[in-house]
């Protein structure tokens, strides 16, 4: 059990276990959430793994759009896996504990993957802009080398951002506090354990949220502004429909992801509603990651054909 210590000893005091409170005081709600999260997580594993495998094996889908989609599926797969297994186990345990090292991994990887997805969605919007507004030069603009560099930039920036927050968070003295009022280890929830002023951490977190949320969202809005203007210039209804279909899935994913995560992060952690923050976190950690593969495949004939080809080969 986590031992009580003074603030001077706090850097050593949290090297044991944390208690994740979640909704342990409401066992019935806990069982409902267990069932929902288990279903979402299993569908996430199946859906995103299927997309990654199909996109890798089918040469017809080795295009910039599907390259970025495979990156998105991998992020969603890792994002929910960083939380899911630990949460599902804790729902059934009386002791809702997590080790220090596991908490550190959750805090770092989840924040890194979330930041990476913010950048990646903006890159995917630029890809759609190039496809709709410059179709004749699309393959030249979105060449293989540029796609690799853009994907690498999203991963590097996301993990670098998370490293800054993780290091700043771990330097805070906890003074023996080990109860995290959340389902998992997250930066805003972790800041509440500190026994010192966390204004600097909150300011850095808010600033990073603006950079990684509002700036990419602004770039997405600009891209779709140009796309809308290009679509309106298309005379045929069939042409407009095709152009819209290439962007519709991405727009839905952007709305789900940014809508929930902006509401969760673009406010000071001290202002969070206890249950509201938890449920929003569950939504973007499990529901959106489950829906993404469904959104991208439901009306995507190319992916359907690739799946049929893969089944026939097997």
At residue 20, the 3 state secondary structure works out as strand
- Tens digit of pLDDT for each residue in 184-214? 888 887 888 888 888 888 888 888 888 898 8
Q: Above 70 in pLDDT, residue 75?
A: yes
* Residue 15: predicted pLDDT: 52
Q: Which of 16-20, 211-215, 290-294 has the lowest mean pLDDT?
A: 16-20
Q: How many CB atoms lie within 10 A of CB 140?
A: 10
Tokens of 250: 């991405």
Lookup: tokens for 189: 């929830």
CA distances to 90, 107, 128 from 96, rounded to whole Å, are 5, 17, 44
- Alpha-carbon distance values, 200 to 169, 183, 206, 224, 268 (Å): 10, 25, 10, 35, 11
Query: Which region among 10-19, 55-64, 141-150, 222-231 has the lowest average model confidence (pLDDT)?
Result: 10-19
pLDDT, position 274:
63
**72 with 117: CB under 8 angstroms?**
yes
Do 227 and 133 contact (CB within 8 A), yes or no?
A: yes
Per-residue pLDDT, 13: 44
Exposed, middle or buried by CB within 10 Å (0-12, 13-18, 19+), for 273? Answer: exposed
Of 116 and 237, more confident: 116
Buried b (16+ CB within 10 A) or exposed e, 51-81: bbebbeebeebebbbbbbbbbbbbbbbbbbb
266-285 residue pLDDT tens: 655 554 556 677 788 888 88
Give, in degrees to the nearest 5, the angle at Cα 306 between 301 and 308.
95
Least confident of 110-124, 140-154, 155-169, 222-236: 222-236
Cα gap 264→278, rounded to integer Å: 9
More confident residue, 153 or 299: 153
The CATH topology of domain 7-130+143-313 is: Rhopdopsin 7-helix transmembrane proteins (1.20.1070)
User: What is the chain's mean pLDDT, rounded?
Assistant: 83
- Which of 303, 295, 221 has the alpha carbon at shortest distance from 256? 295
Give the whole-number percent of the chain exceeding pLDDT 70. 89
| Domain edges within the chain | 7-130+143-313
């Amino acid at each position: 059990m986590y031992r009580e210590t003074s603030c001077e000893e706090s850097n050593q005091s949290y090297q044991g276990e944390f208690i994740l409170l979640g909704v342990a005081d409401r066992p019935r709600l806990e069982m409902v959430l267990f069932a929902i999260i288990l279903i979402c997580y299993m569908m996430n594993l199946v859906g995103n793994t299927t997309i990654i495998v199909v996109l890798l094996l089918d040469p017809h889908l080795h295009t910039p759009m599907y390259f970025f989609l495979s990156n998105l599926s991998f992020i969603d797969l890792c994002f929910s896996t960083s939380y899911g297994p630990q949460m599902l186990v804790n729902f059934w345990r009386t002791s809702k504990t997590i080790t220090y090292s596991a908490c550190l991994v959750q805090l770092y990887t989840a924040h890194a993957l979330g930041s990476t997805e913010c950048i990646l969605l903006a890159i995917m919007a630029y890809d759609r802009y190039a496809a709709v507004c410059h179709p004749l030069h699309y393959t030249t603009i979105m060449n293989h080398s540029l796609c690799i560099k853009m994907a690498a930039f999203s991963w590097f920036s996301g993990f670098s951002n998370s490293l800054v927050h993780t290091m700043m968070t771990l330097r805070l003295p906890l003074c023996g506090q080990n109860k995290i009022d959340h389902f998992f280890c997250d930066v805003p929830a972790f800041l509440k354990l500190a026994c010192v002023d966390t204004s600097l951490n909150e300011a850095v977190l808010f600033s990073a949220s603006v950079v990684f949320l509002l700036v990419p969202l602004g770039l997405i809005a600009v891209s779709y502004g140009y796309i809308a203007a290009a679509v309106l210039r298309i005379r045929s209804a069939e042409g407009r429909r095709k152009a819209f279909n290439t962007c519709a899935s991405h727009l839905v994913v952007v709305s789900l992801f940014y809508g929930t995560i902006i509401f969760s992060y673009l406010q000071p952690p001290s202002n969070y509603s206890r249950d509201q923050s938890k449920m929003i976190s569950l939504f973007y950690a499990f529901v959106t990651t489950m829906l993404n593969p469904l959104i991208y495949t439901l009306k995507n004939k190319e992916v359907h054909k690739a799946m049929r080809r893969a089944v026939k080969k097997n």
